[in-house]
Structure formats: C-alpha cells, structure tokens
Structure 1
Amino acid sequence: MVSKVELGTSSRCLWDHGTMMARNACVGVLLATVVWFCASATAAPTSAQRKDLAAARKTLTRASGLIRRKKLEDAEKLIKEAEAAIKKVIDAAKLKRTDRSVAGLLRFLSIQKRQLALRQGKKPMASGKPVSFIKDVAPILVAKCLQCHGTRAAGKLRLDTFAGLSRGGRSGAVVRPGNPKASLLALRVAAPNAQVRMPKNAAPLSRAQFDSIAGWIAQGAKFDGGNADTSLKQLMSAAGKGKKTKKSKKATTVKVVKATGKEKVSFVKQVAPTLTTLCAGCHGGRNSRGGFSVNTFETVLQGSDSGRVVLPGNLEASLIWRRVAALDKDNQKMPPGNRRITREFYNSLKTWIQEGAKFDGESATVTLRSLVPTDEQMRAAELAKLTPEEFNDLRETRTDELWDRVSKDDRPRFVKSAEFFVYGDVTAARLQQVALWAEDHGKRLRSMFGEKSGQLFKGKLAVIVFKERFGYTEWNQVIHNRETPRAMTGHSVVSPSFEDAYVVLQDVGDVVSATAPGLRLQLVDHVTGAFLKRKGGRLPQWVIRGTGLSLAAQADSGNEHIAGMRAAAIDSLQGLTKPEDLFADGTFSPAQIGAVGYTLVAFMTKAGGNNRFVRFVGNLQKGTGVAASIKAVYAPTDLKRLAAAYVQSLSGKKKR
C-alpha cells in the first residue's frame, strides 16, 4: 500500500514537473515576444525625463522674461540650453517630435527662438526669396485674423483690406516697413504669452506662416494687389486663390444623421443649450473665431478652419471633445477664462459623439437658439410623462410646499373630491362644503364648454381657503411678492405645465350684499378663471372674470351682489371716451373689472348665443387677438360696433 501510494505520488510529481516545464517554456516565449515588441515600440518618457522636460519649460520661461528685458545674450544661452535638454530626452526616449509629451514644448521653443530673432534684428527668412503679400501674407490674415479684425474691428483694427492694415488700430501702426522687430503685427503673432499672442484663443502660427509675415515686413511690406481698398478675399480670388477656398468648403460638406429616439443623449436638450450659452459668444454670428460656428447644427458639423470639429463616433479625433476635456496640453481648454462646463454637459457631449452625433431637431439649418427648449418647456415635457395618479400626487406635494412657505407652523386640513383638492385652515365642514360647490360648478363648466370626459385639470385643481384676511395677504406677499388690493379676496394660478394649478380664497362668509359677493360666488368666479387658463393664450381679465360671474349668476339668479353689477358697470364706464377701450386690459381697476366683465359677457352670450361665445374664447386661447376673434366669430360686427352696442344696452337706449 505504501509503495503504491509512493509510486502514485512520484508519477504525479513527474507529470506536474513536466507540465510546469512546458508552461514555463511558453511563458518564456511570451515574455521574449513582449520584450522584443516593447524594445521595438516607442517608449514613453521616464519620470526623470519628464522632470527634465519640465525644467526645460522653466528655462524657456526665464528666457522669455529676459527677451522682454532686452537681455538677449543671456536669453539666447538659456534657449540653447533648453533646446539641448529637449533633444536629449527625445533621443533617449525615442520620441517623435509630434508626441504629446514634447509637441507643446517644441512649439514654445519655436516661439522663443522667433521672438529672439525679432529682437536681434535677424531676418526671419534664410533665403532672399521675395514674399508676396497677396499670395503669402493675405491668406494667413484671412484664415487667422478676420474673425476678430474683420467687420468687428477689434481694437479698431481691420485686416480685411490692405488699407485697413496700413491704417493700424487703437495702438497705432501695426506694420513698420523694413523693421519686423518694431512691427506690432509680427510681435503679437510671436508673443510667448498666450494671453497676448495672436490669433487669440487659437494655436500659434506655424514657423512658415511667421516667416512669411516677418519676411514680407523685412522686405519693405510692399503691396502687390492693385486697389488697397478691395477686400483681401477678392484680391486672393483674382490671384487664383478662389478655387482653393471652394475646394476646402466642399470638403466640409456634412451628412446629418437623424436620431432614432433610442439614443441616451438628446442633442437639442442636453448639448445645444450649453453650446448656445457658453460657446456662441466667440463662435456665433458671422465672424466666428477659428471659423467654427455654433449657429446651427450644420455649422457645428462643418467644423473650423482647422477641419472637422465633431467626428461622429470618433471621440478621440473630435477636436471639440479634446478642447473641452483638455486632452491637448499645448492647446487652450474650452471654454476659455473662468467659464466652466458642468459635469452633466461633459458626459452628455461625450456620449453624444460616441453615439454618432445624431440630430433630434426639426431642421439642421435653423439656429440652435430656436431649437433649445426653455426651462419651462423642459419641465413641461417631464410633467407630460406623468400618469394621472402621479400628477394628483404632485398636486398634493406642491400644495404642501406652497403652504409651508406661507404658514409652516399651522397645519391645514384637506378634503379630496373627484376634481378638486380643497385645502385650508377653515373647519373640515367648511372645506367639505367648498368641495361640493366646486364639483357642482365643474359640471356646469363641462356643460357650457363641451368637456365630456377626463379630469378638468391635470392633477386636479387645488382650492386653498384661508379663514382670515391675514392668511390670504401673506400668500400674495410670500408666493407672488405683491401687495393685496382691498377689493381682492381671491385669485387663480395655472402654469403652462400644470405644475401649479390652484385657486386661493379668503373666506368672506356666506352673507351676500351689493358689496359682499360671498364665498360661493368667489369660488365659482375663480375656478372658472382657472378653467379658462388651462389651454394657454392671453385672455383679458374681463373675459375671465365675466365668464365666472356669468356662470355664478346661472347658479344663483337671485344673488344680490350680481344684481348690482349693472349699475356698477355703468358707473365704471363714466369717462370712457372710446368704447372699444373697454376690451383692453388696464382700462378698469380690479374693483371695476368684475362688473364690466360680467355685463359684457352676458351681453355677448345673449346677443350671439352661448356657442358663439365659446368659439370666441377658443380663438383667444389659440393666441388670436380680441379684435380678430370678434371679427371671426361675430362678423359682420367688429370690435367698435360690438363695444357701441354693449354701451347702448347698458344705457337702455335703442339705436335709431
């Protein structure tokens, strides 16, 4: 037994040993392959080499200061020292000059060398080849400078014509023929400080572009274009540069891919709002910086003077993402200055590009501002997704929030009915009575306006009743930030999204007189107002108040308060020189508008019938004006004739 066990164990060990040798051999081959691959690939700078590059940048910064102080010999030594250090790292790490770790530093080195050459008075061009303004310099100015120095004339400097270049700007002449180091144009494009360097908020000019400008100035800044007042673009076109421009435009033709609705990010709702608020200042209008415009979705895809800015599906190659995410250390982060994007936009932009940069608007050629929904519209879209039960819960929550703002220490009572949520500091019995009145009036509204099914109000209508004047005035002060006129004892609010839909009342009691309407009439008046506000449109106060009081009169024909409104309306019309003015808001005070509105609505329904008046109100809710609505519904009667007939009906005189 023992020998068998030992034999079995020995065999197992031999097998494991052989397996391990084979495995190690495979691992060895793999490691050798990896070592060979790594040796043949470009290595990244080591920690020590990165420190050397950082030291070289500091050296160049010191050189920049010496150049400004005109200590040119010392600056030249530092520049050579930094250049040698950079070259040493590039050679040791086998880096390409376009590698991210050194590309920005090499550009900084080039700027310092150019600046030093200018200060030393050296000719920028090694050869004596003549430089043409139209062929060599004008294209640079058109591509790099006209965004700010075209029609905008930043600093009162225009570079869209040779005459403008010659005049200079607020700081004086920008070109000193024969002297590049005294020419502001050359100094600004070669400035080491990004805040001073031109073009602003863009990559510096290439060495070849700088040499063209400085060389042209050194050769006398001669003009070879004919008429100095002709635009540079026209001169370039005449010189044969127009075809090149057309080709570049053709290359920026883009294909707009419509969204399917399954995307995680909406361009219109989550990307466009930030583009219009943070980016349009520099990249909007006719002279967008760098040729990149966020005016429309199409211009966003067309890109900039440097090429495409958004490459659908290719995040790393999309310049807008690289600038927003600050992936390129040698380029300025966007947006510039102290403006910052939100984390939400950062993630939305990233996902939108990854999903193919699709468009979910109606037209890619209309302005983004016209596509971007307002906060109210976005909130309305969210609320539109709620079920009736969720909206009812929202109404209760929202009413609680408003009450707490006004009277947090006094907890209210509430009663729920089919259409209303009645809430207040009066007794439970009073709330129940108000709920019954409201339901009864709701049926009357349905009958008059043909509302046969569904809730009258999304999430029900909240009716808030205060037992004292103080509570009602506090509501107006806290919620609406307004004083409460003496005659005002109730009002209604319905927001376009229905997030708020309520009537607020002061319990004025049940005693009715010529001056006291009673709580029920107040309720009917303002519930009707809320009902009419549901569908939007700007309804005049006389329509809102008049319709409510007219329905209240039907419910209580013997109401003493309503019976006195005819006389009150006649008094209110005293001094009215133009009868048609009675249709305009602001003609009558809050104390007068009820009587005028009631008698005017009563006249219109009596003269034209209930159906016509409902059509008239419908036109107003669609946004049609009063005069046009009267003409459409009561033709051939127009606004003036209707006003005159109404005034005559009150006076009791018949028209002869």
Structure 2
Amino acid sequence: MMGRSLPVRVIAYTEVTDRDGRGLFEWTASVETAAVAGQRVIRGCGAMKAERATGFRVSLVVTTLLVLVVIDHAVAAPTAAQRRQLVVARRTITRASGLIRRKKFKDAEKLLGEAEAAIKKVIEAAELKPNDRSVAGLLKFLELQKRQLSRKRGDKPKPASAKAVSFVKDVAPILASRCGTCHGNRASGRLRLDTFAGLAKGGRSGPAVKAGNVKASPLLLRIAAPNAAQRMPKNGAALTREQITTIAAWVSQGAKFDGNGMNTALKSLKSAAAGAPKNKPKPGTVKIVKATGKEKVSFVKDVAPTLTTLCATCHGGRNGRGGFSLATFESLMRGSDSGRVVLPGNLDGSIIWRRVAALDKDKQKMPPGNRRITREFFNSLKTWIQEGAKFDGESATVAMRSLVPTDEDKKAEMLAKLSAEEFNDFREQRVDQLWERVSNDDRPRFVKTSDFFVYGDVPATRLQQLAEWADDHGKQLRTMFGEKSGQLFKGRLAVVVFKERFGYTEWNQVIHNRQTPRAMTGHSVVTPSFEDAYIVLQDVGDVVSSDSAGMRIQLIDHVTGAFLKRKGSQLPQWIVRGVGLTLAAKADAKNEHIAGLKSTAVDALQGLSKPEDLFADGTFSPQQVGAVGYTLVTFMIKAGGGNRFVKFVGNLQNGTGVAGSVKAIYAPTDLKRLASAYVRSLSGKKR
C-alpha cells in the first residue's frame, strides 16, 4: 500500500568566500517531499563544486537531510535572500557599535536606523514574530547598541508618558513587588524600600534618589546597570524598560510624594487626594510611656515583629481596616474607630488581647483563625500589656516596620557578644560550612596566623607560603592606614584557596549564584557584622605573564579589597581593586601583568562619553575595572600624596560619596577636573 509522501525540510549550508577573502556563511531551507529530498541527498552527499567568477568565489555546498517531518507547509521562515538581508543588518549594527566607541553619534544613529528598518522589513515580509530565533538575537543586539548610544550620548530618560508620574499609582507598586524581598524587613545595605520614608532616608551609601537628577540617583544606577553582577534586584530578573523609565521619569519630575503617609507601607499607600474617611475620629493626644529597661518583654524585639508581619496586611496603612492602624506605635496606642485597643495594665480591657485570645465568642479571632500566632508571641503580648504597654523604641511616630530588627541586625547583635577567641572559632566553623556546600569530597588543610585563616585544597607548603605573604601585607596595611587594632579582622580573615579552576567557579555558582568571567580568579567578601570575612582565590601559580600577575599579587590585591570593606560601606569597585593593585605593584615593581594595565585602561576609556563617568560603578567590565582603578589610584597618590588619599578613602568609608569626598579632600578640584587630569596623564599630555 502506497502512502502519501510527507513534506520534509531540507537545510543547506553554504560557505562563500568574497573578493576580500572573508568567509560568508549561509543557511538556506526548502520544503520537499521525502522522496525528492532523498534523491537529492543521494546525489549531493560528498559532492563539492568549485567555481571561479569575478574575483575569487568558491562555493562549497553540503546538503544534509534532517529528519524533521513538517506537517504544516505554512511554517514562517525567512528566505535565503531575506537571511542575507539580516546578515547585512548585523554588519551594519556592528559598524554602528564602532562609531559609538569613536563618539560619532549621528553616523551611528543613522546606521542603527537603517538596520532597524531592514530587520522590520524582513519580519513583515516573512511574517515572523519578534521572538523567532532567526531575528530574536539580532533584535537584542540592536536594542543593546541603541541603549549604548543613548548612554554614551548622555540622553535623559524619557518619561513614561507626558502626564505627571504618580508615586502611589506608578512607582510604589514596582518597588513593592520587585524590591521588597531584600529591602523590607531584611533591609539589605541598610536600605528599606517598603515605605516612602525608607526610600527618602536611603541606606548605607546615602539617599537612594536625588530629586530631579536621574544620574545622581543610586536607585536608578543600580536597577539600570548594564553589568548583571551589579544590577538590582540581585539574582533576579531585571526590571523592564518600561518600569525603569517610569521610575526615572518620577525622579526627573522631582520625586514628589503624593501618598497619605510617608511611613505607610507601600502596599497600603493611598493617594492623599482621596482624603480620610469621614467617620474617622479626630486625632487625640496619646500618652506614650517609655520603658525603663527592667521590663520582661521588649515591644521592639518581642511584639512589633509579629504585628508588622501578621497584622499589617489589614492594618498596616494609615487608613487600616476598622480605623485601626499599625503604621506607627502612636497609631497603635490611638486605637480604632471604636476606641482604644490597648489599655496599659488592663489586659481584659484591651481589645487587641481579647481578639488574639478569642475571649469574645461573638467576635472574630485576630488574625482570622489565629494563623501563625506563636505561643511565644501570645505570652509576650500578654506580659507587655500587663507591664504597662511601654515603648522601648527611638520614636513613636516612625514607621513601626523600621523599629523591627532586621536579620542582619540580629546577627550583628549576636556576633557583637562574642569574645575574640569565640569569633575565631566562629570564622573557622563558618568557612567549613561554606566549603562543604561547594566541595564536600575534598578535605581541606589550613594554616592560622594572628590575622589570617588560610584554608584550601593546595599543599600544606603552599598554604604556609600564602600565610607568610598575607602577614607581610597585613603589616603594610597597618602602616599605610595607621591601623592599631589587635586583629585586622574580627575572627581573622579567611583566605580560601582552590588548586583548580573548577573549585573557584563552583564557589561562585553555589555560594553567590553567579557565573564566573574568564578573567576573574579571585574576590573578597566582608559583611558589616563580620559574619563573613573572606577572600576566595584560584591558585594561578607564580609564573608572571601579560595575562596573569601571579599568586602573590592576586593575594595582595584581594586582601586589600577585604580590608577596605571592613567598615561596612559600599565602596566603588575602582577603589577596591585600584588600591589593592597599587599596593601589589610595590611588592613586585617589574611585574609584567601590572606593567600592561595602563594600556588596558587606555582601551577601556575609549568609549567614555563624559570623563566623570569613570567614577561610577557599572561603567567598566570586571576585566577593565582593575586596570582603570590601578592607574587612577596611582595618579591620585602621585598628584596629591599618600596622606590625602588615605583621608579620601576614609571619607568614602564613612559614607560620603565620591564627589563629596573629592571636594572635601582635593578642593578646588571636582570630579570633572580630576577625571580630565587623569585621562591626560594616561595620554602623556601635560596637565
């Protein structure tokens, strides 16, 4: 019985050499019956045809039958001619990329426009979708170069729309959904983004936004950072372009607040224009009794955490359900539409207790069903009311969420109680735990000194050598920065060393959830509480080349980086890497790798549109930032002296930004002048 021959897709790969000897590669596709395709393959497999035309043109055609049964004849796919158009478009975008680096912005914009028009023409003609794999990568490449052009040209982000952007309606939902996990109770970087007050206050590095100035707003710089390792949300999908544009427009319009309470949780925010409920009683005087410190229960530590997590869903905003708000301690004590809910010393008369304890059978339990109410909280609430409902926070009018200790705060409090010896033991146990997560099969060795805990799978003699290098450099750090503490790091600094590349990349993947760039062979981590204080290194050996500075230089580089991070401030990467490499250069002045950093820095600066941009994180790749940092730090020390530079670093560690620190230490020089002088120094021109 003869069956109908089904259509199959035949893919042909053609390699063509043009007049200039450049290889052009082309895939073509056609739909044929299996019988015809089979005959084609029988005739064509192994056949090669060489042909001379104008100039040199050699075609090698190998036709391969793929067993891909295509039931639908109407599968959308570009033709051979259309694919050639896409190849030309890609080359056009590549040419535009070169023009952007040379700051020929008008010519680059013209080429990008031509490429975009050509791609759209193919998409329409071939009836393709933007996510079709034949054009998806090309569209992504085009979009990347358009953003690069906009950034290098200094374009201001366009508002999401011509109308004013509302914080309550447009910005708050983005922050609440994308930033709340790390910047709510956890307050990563001491930055809380669960209230407008937290956003305005900022974190460890200062205010998160600067009204009217998008480029000076750290929040925008982090969410729009081109480098995924520096972009926020950390380890999460990037914000959409529309979301970033919305936030940027709000900042450029003055970062105005249009909500009903700066301390109100973002999820509960309402527009101030909506007004308050008509039946809400006028605020009265609330008596706040301060705690003496002799109480058995702390409101901040024992009561507030549960109120803000379990009860804030309904009562977190200024206009909480039933007129009862847990936005602040003051609003808690003021009560609800029905009156006061907490009567100090009167347990049975306190409505909040009666609802939680379910004393009134005709009233609903609170929270509904008493879900997740622990026995510990139950007893703490009871004792707190009986002891007079006293307040042990700093202010009764600030957001209650801000009173609750973060996980980082709790960890810091626990670690602060450890003795020096206990902290040393903690460090060793902590490193053991991290190592087991990465390399459970390999048994590490270790060497201890007063300041360092050197640990890894390299031979014991190598560990001893690294420990001696680390101690020598520790003495240099003490001298340069006037360090007089007993230990450079609480619990010692762990120096974790892997003999193989795999171990180092596995650490990055398992511990940090990130990929490891090829040029990256070490890094440092120091948390504010010193829960973690370590550097991780791949043993690159002691042979120095243009690609590798050798193990001793790498050790000095990252020990210095860890030292600079001790005070908990978020220092720019060019400072962290630059100081480390500058000190490393003193240990090996003739190092071939360090000698080549200047040319690397010169290449990295070619695409810089504004000189002062070199001070911003995210401007340079991980491979470039070390070279730029080294040459910039060396220039600053040479031009202004070592003492002034140490003061400059101290200002940064105390939370002052780069611009403010430059103004304070190097006045009347500002960022632009400093950057211009540095760039001229690399070119050999006189300042």
Q: Which TM-score bucket, shorter chain as reference?
A: 0.5 to 0.7
* 1:452 alignment partner in structure 2: 484
Residue aligned with 2:319, SS: coil
* 1:71 alignment partner in structure 2: none
Match 1:479 to one of 511, 523, 531: 511
1:339 Cα offset (Å): 4.2
The amino acid across from 1:428 in the alignment is A
1:448 Cα offset (Å): 1.1
1:233 Cα offset (Å): 9.1
Q: Confirm whether residue 427 of structure 1 aligns to residue 456 of structure 2.
A: no
Cα distance in structure 1, aligned partners of 2:566 and 2:380? 34
1:374 Cα offset (Å): 1.7
Residue aligned with 1:464, SS: strand
Cα distance in structure 2, aligned partners of 1:625 and 1:483? 29
Cα distance in structure 1, aligned partners of 2:295 and 2:347? 16
* 1:286 alignment partner in structure 2: 318
The amino acid across from 2:643 in the alignment is N
* 1:566 alignment partner in structure 2: 598
1:328 Cα offset (Å): 1.8
CA deviations over 1:151-203 (Å, ceiling 9, x no partner): xxxxxxxxxxxxxxxxxxxxxxxxxxxxxxxxxxxxxxxxxxxxxxxxxxxxx
* 2:435 alignment partner in structure 1: 403
The amino acid across from 2:319 in the alignment is N
Q: How does 1:264-413 map to 2 (within 5 A)?
A: 264-336=296-368, 339-413=371-445
Cα distance in structure 2, aligned partners of 1:651 and 1:454? 44
Structure 1 runs of 4+ with >6 Å offset: 231-234
**2:499–2:538 Cα contact (<8 Å) kept:** yes
* 1:524 alignment partner in structure 2: 556
Structure 1 range deviating more: 488-497 or 568-577: 568-577
Q: How does 1:49-448 map to 2 (within 5 A)?
A: 253-336=285-368, 339-448=371-480
1:442 Cα offset (Å): 0.9
The amino acid across from 2:359 in the alignment is L
Structure 1 range deviating more: 264-273 or 513-522: 264-273
Cα distance in structure 2, aligned partners of 1:469 and 1:457? 27
Structure 1: gaps spanning 5 or more residues: 1-230, 237-241
Residue aligned with 2:662, SS: helix
Residue aligned with 2:494, SS: strand
Cα distance in structure 1, aligned partners of 2:397 and 2:604? 53
Q: TM-score, normalised by structure 2?
A: 0.58
Cα distance in structure 2, aligned partners of 1:633 and 1:338? 58
Residue aligned with 1:573, SS: helix
* 2:11 alignment partner in structure 1: none
* 2:534 alignment partner in structure 1: 502
Q: 1:254 to 1:535 in 2, by over 3 A?
A: same
Cα distance in structure 2, aligned partners of 1:368 and 1:575? 47
The amino acid across from 2:384 in the alignment is W
Structure 2: gaps spanning 5 or more residues: 1-274
**2:346–2:386 Cα contact (<8 Å) kept:** yes
Cα distance in structure 2, aligned partners of 1:450 and 1:424? 31
1:315 Cα offset (Å): 2.4
1:326 Cα offset (Å): 1.4
Cα distance in structure 1, aligned partners of 2:540 and 2:405? 42
Q: 1:338 to 1:364 in 2, by over 3 A?
A: closer
Q: Confirm whether residue 603 of structure 1 aligns to residue 635 of structure 2.
A: yes
Q: Confirm whether residue 541 of structure 1 aligns to residue 577 of structure 2.
A: no
Residue aligned with 1:617, SS: helix
The amino acid across from 2:456 in the alignment is G
* 2:683 alignment partner in structure 1: 651
CA deviations over 1:303-322 (Å, ceiling 9, x no partner): 22333322223323322112
Match 2:494 to one of 455, 462, 467: 462
Between Structure 1 and Structure 2, the one with more strand by share is: 2
Give aligned pairs, total: 414
1:408 Cα offset (Å): 1.0
1:288 Cα offset (Å): 2.3
The amino acid across from 2:627 in the alignment is A
1:459 Cα offset (Å): 1.0
Between Structure 1 and Structure 2, the one with more helix by share is: 1
Residue aligned with 1:504, SS: strand
Residue aligned with 2:363, SS: coil
1:452 Cα offset (Å): 1.4
Instruction: Tell me: higher relative CO, structure 1 or 2? Use CA pairs within 8 A at least 6 residues apart.
Output: 2
The amino acid across from 1:458 in the alignment is K
* 1:210 alignment partner in structure 2: none
Q: Confirm whether residue 579 of structure 1 aligns to residue 601 of structure 2.
A: no
The amino acid across from 2:404 in the alignment is V
**2:276–2:319 Cα contact (<8 Å) kept:** no
Cα distance in structure 2, aligned partners of 1:395 and 1:286? 44
CA deviations over 1:19-66 (Å, ceiling 9, x no partner): xxxxxxxxxxxxxxxxxxxxxxxxxxxxxxxxxxxxxxxxxxxxxxxx
Residue aligned with 2:368, SS: coil
Q: 1:569 to 1:288 in 2, by over 3 A?
A: closer
1:433 Cα offset (Å): 0.9
Cα distance in structure 2, aligned partners of 1:416 and 1:508? 22
1:349 Cα offset (Å): 1.5
Q: Confirm whether residue 493 of structure 1 aligns to residue 506 of structure 2.
A: no
Cα distance in structure 2, aligned partners of 1:365 and 1:590? 44
Match 2:644 to one of 589, 612, 617: 612
1:274 Cα offset (Å): 1.7
1:337 Cα offset (Å): 5.4
The amino acid across from 1:638 in the alignment is D
Q: 1:321 to 1:605 in 2, by over 3 A?
A: same
Cα distance in structure 2, aligned partners of 1:331 and 1:434? 69
Cα distance in structure 1, aligned partners of 2:333 and 2:390? 10
Q: 1:435 to 1:262 in 2, by over 3 A?
A: farther
Cα distance in structure 2, aligned partners of 1:470 and 1:463? 17
Q: 1:301 to 1:488 in 2, by over 3 A?
A: same
Q: Percent identity?
A: 78
Residue aligned with 2:300, SS: helix
Cα distance in structure 2, aligned partners of 1:599 and 1:457? 28
Cα distance in structure 1, aligned partners of 2:589 and 2:296? 59
The amino acid across from 1:281 in the alignment is T
Cα distance in structure 2, aligned partners of 1:279 and 1:444? 54
The amino acid across from 1:545 in the alignment is R
